[in-house]
Structure 1
């Protein structure tokens, strides 16, 4: 059978794909969860007018291998230019436009509608990669969970003094309250490409936060429902994951070495930075992360 690229008809939903002379099968042991960090402080459960639901500043696909109990993160730039779908106030599809992927959440009506739209668009960007669930959290959720676990302590791998004078490369800091939000959110929008360094801070923070949450759960007798209640996250989050699934996620290791980023190039647009995906590089990455080679 002739080779075919993932972008020309084959997808992760296919049982097998043929790529660069080899045959690959999608790893059905994986569970892929979309994580969205929303740039709003309002209650995520409320209904919005399309265009007003906030944007997803942080977009991550957490891929967990249920057999190996290992986890990997795939990070997507919020500036990625792609096809996004627009909807009317009733949730009916209107049209598809090319825009930054962060806007897809905004063009839903909030809560589940926006999460569903974002999940569909991210899946399409990744050649119809199966995404099994979603978890979104707004800005207030960051400082809430951060402080509930006693703060997040990490060693900075890069300088971020433009965000806060204390964020010096090599320094060990404990993020408390508003500092946590600044660390994962703030950037100089007047500097082209500033989102790249912010993305690195986001994954650095998230992997450390998961470790802190595991320790926090141990302190609460490994009672997940009790822990989740103490974290007081419900008003700031929307998810279709069950309590059992959320608890199971904490049993996986989130290692910084297992973080991948959708490859591409940032260009200065008329109004905002625009990130254009390197399709060949993304093909290779999707095969490497989500498929296994079939030996013939």
Structure 2
């Protein structure tokens, strides 16, 4: 073979490898979560880099009879954005919790954002408390159990990422562009505690601003619901950036920046199997699921009181999607609401 032809062939092989790697990451991002799926993007890349951490229970939820196969069975994933990721991620509070379920039969992805102040029962704790306290009490292990009990579904996979990980990916991509719905300000998460200003209309955000934009709740007239929509907007913007041709050259940097910020029990091999089967998955196949409730103050402490009818409806919808329950009328579940919450 002529030297010139050999060089051309080598160039083509390198290009194919870069494209394959980019598509793998993109596919994993889409399958595991859009609403706060940036977190899972970090997780999937790091799974490929070896940052894998199994839950104490092993591969199978206690609510499963057998281990699920991501490319064959309906699955669920709990995504957690953690405020303090020190000491192996078992301290601090989970600022964001997203449950994603995927059914390979209809190729639908359902996303449920659990308000962090939801007033729930935490296994092994007396009374009721905010759901995000479960991470402070028992890390990812207890948080997974709490969500399983709240929704009466198995959680097959989890992923946690801290704030530095979120900001890192946005900065590595060169920032994102979002359409801000109204003027507001939000404190930064760093030591400066600077009030960052956001103005209605299109804005370019770096990692610091993107995190503040996704976290703001108090100035949003729709509270957690409005915040959830902004989080989805941020993820869509990240996906847009990472699918661009220029993002292909940044994949290695993304991995290096995120290595110490992520924990997951999601294996990259599972993602490869999924991608090979659902390479044509589109964001139009994503359904948003909402837990309705009301604001409640007990003493000077704020809680989000979940609406029992809404909770039962959400449980039923997710259980049907996971093929645990037959379609029809929601089962009559009961959620304790009389116990006095703790501060």
* RMSD over aligned Cα atoms: 3.4
SS of 1:45 mapped into structure 2: helix
Q: How does 1:224-235 map to 2 (within 5 A)?
A: 226=252, 229-230=255-256, 232-235=257-260
Aligned to 1:19: none
Q: 2:294 aligns with which of 242, 256, 265?
A: 265
The structure richer in helix per residue is 2
- Say if 2:160 is the partner of 1:141: no
Instruction: Give the alignment's TM-score, normalised by structure 1.
Output: 0.69
Alpha-carbon distance in structure 2 between the residues aligned to 1:211 and 1:131: 28
Distance verdict in 2 for CA 1:159–1:39, change over 3 Å: same
- Say if 2:99 is the partner of 1:73: no
The answer as to whether partners of 1:149 and 1:216 remain within 8 angstroms in 2 is: no
Alpha-carbon distance in structure 1 between the residues aligned to 2:144 and 2:245: 30
Alpha-carbon distance in structure 1 between the residues aligned to 2:74 and 2:246: 25
Aligned to 2:22: none
Distance verdict in 2 for CA 1:62–1:104, change over 3 Å: same
1:246 CA displacement: 4.9
Instruction: Give the alignment's TM-score, normalised by structure 2.
Output: 0.61
Unaligned residue ranges in structure 2 (runs of 5+): 1-61, 66-71, 187-195, 329-343
- Structure number with greater Rg is 2
- Say if 2:214 is the partner of 1:184: yes
Alpha-carbon distance in structure 2 between the residues aligned to 1:203 and 1:139: 17
Distance verdict in 2 for CA 1:294–1:116, change over 3 Å: same
1:262 CA displacement: 1.3
Q: 1:103 aligns with which of 133, 141, 144?
A: 133
Alpha-carbon distance in structure 2 between the residues aligned to 1:159 and 1:294: 40
The answer as to whether partners of 1:33 and 1:62 remain within 8 angstroms in 2 is: yes
Aligned to 1:155: 179
1:56 CA displacement: 0.9
Alpha-carbon distance in structure 2 between the residues aligned to 1:105 and 1:193: 26
Q: 2:142 aligns with which of 99, 117, 132?
A: 117
The answer as to whether partners of 1:85 and 1:97 remain within 8 angstroms in 2 is: no
The answer as to whether partners of 2:119 and 2:128 remain within 8 angstroms in 1 is: yes
Distance verdict in 2 for CA 1:44–1:59, change over 3 Å: farther
- Say if 2:62 is the partner of 1:30: no
Alpha-carbon distance in structure 1 between the residues aligned to 2:245 and 2:155: 28
Aligned to 1:274: 303
- Say if 2:203 is the partner of 1:173: yes
Unaligned residue ranges in structure 1 (runs of 5+): 1-11, 16-27, 87-94, 109-113
Alpha-carbon distance in structure 2 between the residues aligned to 1:216 and 1:162: 33
The aligned length equals 244
Alpha-carbon distance in structure 2 between the residues aligned to 1:97 and 1:57: 21
The answer as to whether partners of 1:63 and 1:73 remain within 8 angstroms in 2 is: yes
1:274 CA displacement: 0.8
Alpha-carbon distance in structure 2 between the residues aligned to 1:153 and 1:83: 39
